[in-house]
Amino acid sequence: MPYVDTRTEIIVSLGEGPKRLDHFLANRDPDFSRTILQRLILDGHITVDGQPTKPSHKIRPGDVIVLRVPRAEPLDIQPEPIPLEILYEDDALLVLNKQAGLVVHPAPGNWSGTLVNALLHHFKTGTGSFSTIGGKERPGMVHRLDKNTTGIMVVAKQDRAHAGLVDQFKRHTIDRVYEALIRGVPKKAQGVIDLAIGRDTKDRKKFSGRTTRPKASATKYRVTERFEKLAAHVELFPQTGRTHQLRVHLSAIGCPVLGDPTYGGKKASAIHDVVIPRVMLHAKVLGFLHPVSQEAMNFVAPLPADMTEVADRLRAMRERETTDERERHGR
CB–CB of 22/38 below 8 Å?
yes
Query: How far is residue 107 CA from its own chain's centroid?
Result: 16
Question: How far is it, in rounded angstroms, from Cα 146 to Cα 30?
Answer: 30
Cis peptide before 81 (omega within 30 of 0): no
**Beta strand spans in 21-149 (E):** 46-48, 51-52, 58-59, 64-69, 85-89, 93-98
Contact partners, residue 86, CB within 8 Å, separation at least 6: 94, 95, 96, 122
Which positions are catalytic? 146
CB–CB of 118/106 below 8 Å?
no
Neighbours of 80 (CB within 10 A): 14
Give the CA diameter of the chain: 89
- Cα dihedral sign for 151, 192, 217, 108? negative
Question: How far is it, in rounded angstroms, from Cα 290 to Cα 312?
Answer: 37
CB–CB of 86/99 below 8 Å?
no
- Cα dihedral sign for 223, 226, 229, 232? negative
Question: How far is it, in rounded angstroms, from Cα 139 to Cα 222?
Answer: 35
Contact partners, residue 124, CB within 8 Å, separation at least 6: 79
